[in-house]
Amino acid sequence: MIMNKILIFLLVFIFFSCGKESKKKQVIPVRVSIPMIQPEGKSVAIDTVLLNSYGSKILKEFYLSSGFKSVWQSNKDRKIILKQLLNSEEEGLNPDDYYVHKLQKFEKKYASLDDKNRGNYDILLTRSLQKYISHLSNGQLNPRNFYKDWDLKENVLDINQAIVVMLKSDSLQYKIEQLKPNHIVYKSLKKALKIINSFPKDDFKAIEITNKIVLNDTNPSLIDIKKRLIYWKEMKPKDGLSSIYDSITNEAMKKFQIRHGLAADGVIGKGTIAALNFSKRKRKEQILANLERWRWFPKEMGNEYVIVNIPDYKLILVKNNDTMRTHKVIVGRDKRPTPVLSSRLSNVILNPTWTVPPTILREDVIPSISRNRNYLAQTNMKVYDSNGNEVSANNWKLSNAKGYRYVQTPGTFNSLGMVKFSFPNRFSIYLHNTNHRDFFGKQKRSLSSGCVRVENPLKLAKYLLADEANWNIEKITETLQNGKTKAIKINNEVNVHILYWTAWSENNSLIFRDDIYNLDADLYQKLRR
């Protein structure tokens, strides 16, 4: 009887168990193992009620790994952390965000603290360090929350693991320094912050001019202009404050224009006046915004990479930390901005075709065809339906316009020019040549529909292909002349980073560029909310 009951139970169990096979399996959470922290010296108990009041999961997990015991018994380690937090201003961060003053009070009377307050101090120090590490490695804000044209991988860091490594290290100072962005531009921004802080307070009023000012002109605004040049150390005070635009002021103005990415012609126009009207406070805010932006950028660019600074209209190719090539570029205009992204170059395409992307199709091509069916012939563009059949201009229908595929044939007239550099990205953009080469002569080159146009692309193609035997300039030119599309794989690993920064320093001088997409002021305000 007992055996029968057991058999019935087993059958019922198997039946219901089998019935569940088709259902979604229950996911059993697996506890992540956190390396045990071995506290130095005598530790004290952590108040779990206070710990929970912070509402921080990573803080709770950290003390779980220490058995809810304090970890910052080392006087040396505490002082190193406090110094880092106090000097966080050098990174463009705010010490008040890390409870520095409260921590200093704890530290000052550490010897006389009871166990409870030592535990409380320990918790606050850990939370401050976690926050600081997070800000250094990922920034204070998440760009994915407010930028649609952003495609950079998030810098992932296990903060608790990083602290465990610090505790086990012989040099906590060194480990903290390793967490900071190491790129030369970030370091130059830190230097820029130091430089701007060295300038005295300014109280200049906005300068206004009606007409351009050129050499030997007389204009009452020149007195205020000279004051600005003296303030920014382009001129010396002894050079005088007359209303005459003399040669000394002209040379100082050219230096100012170079630092701000303006045409260095000495002519004082609207662009130059706009740059002069930036106060110290606004320039500092710009530097702080750029420091935050650089904490979002990749920590490792790669051994060999192409980096494009959108507001500087410049492409630089770097290998083993040496600049190998520089090229002027044209970037997207403000209404069609070039996205920020990182990828890897895959192919050089000679005589490329151009498949019209959605935005240009919607805003440019379809309206143009609607007005003039000859537009297709004039631009050497072919239209294909969903089955791949070519659609003639006469059979083109506005009602189906968005369902067609529009392809521009190769040639000097092609919007991509004669050369295209491909890399995977979700925005369908690339580096390419252009059929408007005269645009490279312009100072302001935010003129494209999002893609990056490159000056002297053949030299860049030759370098990237790195195959003198098969793809020298002569061979590339010959292939271009035959008019056939040719895709050539880039065998070397060359990353491409299209980034955005408007401030840095060079040779102890501040360098600024126009914020062409108006991102800096908005970012600074978000940081201060």
Q: How far is the C-alpha of 66 from the C-alpha of 44, rounded, in Å?
A: 11
Q: Which candidate, 123, 132, 146, places its Cα nearest to that of 44?
A: 123
- What is the DSSP-derived secondary structure letter of residue 444? -
* pLDDT score recorded for residue 23: 35
Helices (H), 430-519: 457-465, 473-482
Query: By the 8 A CB rule, do 344 and 367 touch?
Result: no
Q: Which candidate, 91, 162, 98, places its Cα nearest to that of 125?
A: 98
Burial call 171-182: b when 16+ CB within 10 Å, e when fewer: ebeebbeebbbe
Backbone φ and ψ for 487, nearest 5 degrees, come out as -100, 125
Question: How many CA within 13 A on the CB side of residue 508?
Answer: 4
Longest CA span, the chain: 118
- Among residues 135, 260, 327, 451, which one is catalytic? 451
Beta strand pairing status for 304-309 and 495-499? parallel
- DSSP, collapsed to helix, strand or coil, labels residue 378 as helix
411 φψ region: left (φ > 0), alpha (ψ -120 to 50), beta (else): left
Nearest-10 crossing angle of helices 520-528, 280-296: 80
Question: How many CA within 13 A on the CB side of residue 26?
Answer: 3
Q: Which candidate, 135, 140, 131, 125, places its Cα nearest to that of 81?
A: 125
Calculate ∠ Cα 395-401-404, nearest 5°: 85
Encoded tokens for 398? 């506005």
Model pTM?
A: 0.88
Question: How many CA within 13 A on the CB side of residue 410?
Answer: 16
Q: How far is the C-alpha of 529 from the C-alpha of 525, rounded, in Å?
A: 6
Query: By the 8 A CB rule, do 380 and 411 touch?
Result: yes
Q: How far is the C-alpha of 176 from the C-alpha of 189, rounded, in Å?
A: 19
Q: Which candidate, 452, 428, 423, places its Cα nearest to that of 440?
A: 452
Query: By the 8 A CB rule, do 139 and 132 touch?
Result: no
Encoded tokens for 160? 């608790």
Encoded tokens for 297? 């950028």
- Among residues 135, 260, 432, 497, which one is catalytic? 432
Question: How many CA within 13 A on the CB side of residue 451?
Answer: 22
Helix (H) or strand (E) holding 198: helix 184-198
* pLDDT score recorded for residue 168: 87
pLDDT tens digit at each of 529 positions of the chain: 444 443 343 333 333 333 333 333 333 333 344 556 666 678 999 999 999 999 999 999 999 999 999 999 999 999 999 999 999 999 999 999 999 999 999 999 999 999 999 999 999 999 999 999 999 999 999 999 999 999 999 998 999 999 999 988 888 999 999 999 999 999 999 999 999 999 999 999 999 999 999 999 999 999 999 999 999 999 998 766 899 999 999 999 999 999 999 999 999 999 999 999 999 999 999 999 999 999 999 999 999 999 999 999 999 999 999 999 999 999 999 999 999 999 999 999 999 999 998 889 999 999 999 999 999 999 999 999 999 999 999 999 999 999 999 999 998 888 899 999 999 999 989 999 988 888 999 999 999 999 999 999 999 999 999 999 999 999 999 999 998 999 999 999 999 999 999 999 999 999 999 999 999 999 999 999 8
18 assigned to active site: no
Helices (H), 220-357: 221-231, 247-259, 270-276, 280-296
Burial category of 391 from C-beta neighbours within 10 Å (exposed 0-12, middle 13-18, buried 19 and up): middle
Q: Which candidate, 84, 96, 171, 89, places its Cα nearest to that of 133?
A: 84
* pLDDT score recorded for residue 412: 83
Beta strand pairing status for 486-489 and 304-309? unpaired
Through-space distance between the first and last CA atoms of the chain, rounded to whole angstroms:
75
Query: By the 8 A CB rule, do 444 and 275 touch?
Result: no
Q: Which candidate, 340, 335, 331, 294, places its Cα nearest to that of 313?
A: 331
Encoded tokens for 102? 């409260």
